[in-house]
Chains A and B, each alone.
Chain A
Amino acid sequence: MDLFEYQGKQYFARWDIPVSAGGVADTVDEAMKVAESAGYPVVVKAQVQVGGRGKAGGIKLAADADEVRRHAGAILGLDIKGHTVRRLWVEHASDISKEYYASFTLDRAAKKHLGMVSAQGGVEIEEVAEKDPTAIARLHIDPVDGLDLAAATRLVEEANLDPEARAGAADILVKLYRCFVEGDADLVEINPLILTPEGKVHALDAKVTLDDSAAFRHPEWDEFRGLEEMDPRDRLARDKGLQYVGLDGFVGIIANGAGLAMSTCDVVEQVGGKPANFLDIGGGANAEVMANALEVINTDEKVKSIFINIFGGITRGEEVANGIVAALGRVDIKAPIVIRLDGTNADEGRRILSEHESDRLVSVPTMLGAARKATELAGGTVREAQVSR
């Protein structure tokens, strides 16, 4: 789950990572109140989960109450790359001497945490990485050892931060690392991390991605979740415990496991169809989950046929079959269904389905065969799939 900047800053505050004085505002009046207590001049920042806010007019400096009124009014309701601004973060505008970059993430290849610090902050870090990879100091951290102040100090030295910023930056790095680990984040990033003319270092932005798998030990994340920006179809699917990605085609796809769901999309496209979506019902899906998946697909007008591709491991065939039968009784499924069912308890599942087969529910024994049948029923032109590149 990605956090908004203001949520990221609230999260940072739990680990004493310094941020500018400021607050959240949903209205122009609130913005003016926050500005008053933060102290002028202030920055009014659109809260959307998309990059390039500044260029889109979503970040404005205001010297007095009149300017806050004008900017807050203009930014609230603004559309930034398809995201409507509903909330602002208003903070005291800092004087900036220097801008840096700092982040922690997991390096999957090294199987260690990765800290990155650069003296070139405030711009897209990908650009820095491309133009001058040596401008980013990297440190692999063993999760068993963690990061201490000595290592953090060496990292900021290696990154060539200005001498007067090093102590403050190293201190923030240690706190940011704790936020990353204890806060169960996949990514914590400060860009820019700034040095003020008074020699203070603090976070001017906050990018935090939380690890959804750790939600069970963070009940406090619920308040973040309610405000998450999501496609309504995605939200419906997620509320029902499904992984759903809407696509542009006409064959609705339901599979168990992300790998098989992707593979099903591959095969449908290769035989001449076009996937309308990617829907993974996950492992151990029961009848209820199967019925929910069909309901979600059924809301998509573009779907001309539905291909259910199940290879049971932990998922049991008879549960899948019962789910389909239950869904047929509960929902008026618009498109014909093609099912391919193998694996755990598949015989029992196929037996249950055989009692309900019709031209609206067709069972096909192979994945490629079922993809062809689903494409044909959707009115597509069926072709032979490519074998190798």
Chain B
Amino acid sequence: MSIFVDDKTKVVIQGVSPTGQGLYHGLRNRSYGTQVVAGTNPKRGGEVIEDIPVYASVKEAVQATGATASFIAVPPGGAPGAILEAAEAGIAFIVCITEFIPAQDEARVYNVLRRDFPQTRLLGPNCPGIISPGKCNIGITSGDIATPGGPVGLVSRSGTVFYQALYELTQKGIGQTTGVGIGGDPVPGTSFIDCLSAFEADPETRAVLMIGEIGGSAEEEAAEFIGKEMSKPVVTYIAGVTAPPGRKMGHAGAIISGSKGTAKAKMDALEAAGARVAMNPTAAADIMAEVVAGLG
């Protein structure tokens, strides 16, 4: 099984234009085998681009095609509106890869979704998307770096380390149930815990690889969940073990996080929760190979 998406997932690309990232990557997703059923563009309703019917709104696209998921790659100014449009149209799973959405917009959209559309899941923004190997790929991940039929669920805050980890697993012949890039923005729609919980419930996922990074406290929160709720083995890598934090936090921010936020604090918390801690992405796959061999 996979989490959040599968071979029945029907995707609408929001904000399709002939030169946009949405169409470019949407077509790559389609050639991977994903059911890309529609596009939207208020100015291009009725057109057909690369065999994809374009509608003026998500609502129309859903009515005409039964789309269940959406792929948003529109610029930061329009992305918050696009997310809410998808939710209002009844889309259950929204992938937003847009980077640099203002934090105030992101926080507002997150809380509107939680209140008015509790059934809708937003992945991202500023994320690589989701791939269930062999079944569905929504976003900007290169499909060829993933392997179907495997026992490992992968979740990552960093986009590029997500690819690296996926590829390292594939190189070692370890397949994946689903890979989820949740994105590193301040208020991601989907958290580590959402993914860990879904992987725990998925019978085909037998171990989880979690990739975190310095800053914030999402890894510490995940560690608490791992300690209490996860029966499946978890291997982790925290990017930024040796690099200095990229961004200074203000006074108030420093209070919220306290000693949390450093790679060491995160690794300590994860280790204390029973997760294995790798020093780099290659090492993470090496350790996962051991874990998988021990699953029997």
Task: Say whether, besides A112-B111, A125-B252, A389-B277, A283 and B99 are in contact (CB < 8 Å).
Answer: yes
Chain B proximity of A121: nearest CB distance (Å): 12
Which partner residue on chain B sits nearest A255 by CB separation?
B160
Evaluate contact between B186 and A267: CB separation under 8 angstroms. no
Q: Give A322 to B46 CA distance when docked, in angstroms.
A: 38
Which partner residue on chain A sits nearest B115 by CB separation?
A144
Chain B residues with a Cβ closer than 8 Å to the other chain, count: 71
Contacts of A265 in B (CB 8 A): 240, 242-243
Contacts of B279 in A (CB 8 A): 266, 270, 385-389
Of the residues B139, B255, B267, B277, contact of A116 by C-beta under 8 Å = B255
Q: Does chain A have a CB within 8 A of B108? A: yes
Chain B proximity of A381: nearest CB distance (Å): 17
Which partner residue on chain A sits nearest B271 by CB separation?
A389
Q: Does chain A have a CB within 8 A of B18? A: no
Evaluate contact between B287 and A108: CB separation under 8 angstroms. no
Contacts of B140 in A (CB 8 A): 313-314, 344
Contacts of B213 in A (CB 8 A): 258-259, 262
Task: Say whether, besides A111-B107, A116-B255, A275-B243, A257 and B161 are in contact (CB < 8 Å).
Answer: yes
Q: Give A251 to B261 CA distance when docked, in angstroms.
A: 26
For the residues of A in contact with B, the DSSP-based class is mixed
Evaluate contact between B255 and A129: CB separation under 8 angstroms. yes
Which partner residue on chain B sits nearest A51 by CB separation?
B251
Q: Does chain A have a CB within 8 A of B294? A: no
Contacts of A106 in B (CB 8 A): 103, 107, 186-187
Chain A proximity of B109: nearest CB distance (Å): 9
Task: Say whether, besides A109-B217, A368-B280, A387-B283, A266 and B240 are in contact (CB < 8 Å).
Answer: yes
Chain A residues with a Cβ closer than 8 Å to the other chain, count: 71
Interface string of A101-131 (1 = CB under 8 A from B): 0011111110111101000000011100100
Residues of chain A from 160 to 204 with CB closer than 8 A to chain B in the complex: 181, 184, 186-187, 189, 191
Which partner residue on chain A sits nearest B215 by CB separation?
A108
Evaluate contact between B282 and A260: CB separation under 8 angstroms. no
Q: Does chain A have a CB within 8 A of B104? A: yes
Contacts of A5 in B (CB 8 A): none
Which partner residue on chain A sits nearest B241 by CB separation?
A266
Evaluate contact between A213 and B102: CB separation under 8 angstroms. yes
Interface string of B170-188 (1 = CB under 8 A from A): 0000000000000010110
Q: Does chain A have a CB within 8 A of B253? A: yes
Evaluate contact between B111 and A213: CB separation under 8 angstroms. no
Evaluate contact between B167 and A342: CB separation under 8 angstroms. yes
Q: Does chain A have a CB within 8 A of B133? A: no
Q: Does chain B have a CB within 8 A of A350? A: no
Task: Say whether, besides A106-B103, A266-B279, A385-B280, A311 and B160 are in contact (CB < 8 Å).
Answer: yes
- Centre residue among A104, A108, A144, A275 by max chain B CB count within 10 A: A108
Which partner residue on chain A sits nearest B112 by CB separation?
A144
Which partner residue on chain A sits nearest B163 by CB separation?
A311
- Centre residue among A105, A124, A184, A278 by max chain B CB count within 10 A: A105
Chain B proximity of A162: nearest CB distance (Å): 23
Q: Does chain B have a CB within 8 A of A74? A: no
Evaluate contact between B158 and A260: CB separation under 8 angstroms. yes
Evaluate contact between A105 and B246: CB separation under 8 angstroms. no
Contacts of A256 in B (CB 8 A): 160
Known A-B contacts: A184-B102, A216-B76. Give 8 more (CB < 8 A): A111-B187, A126-B255, A187-B250, A258-B246, A259-B156, A262-B246, A265-B242, A368-B282
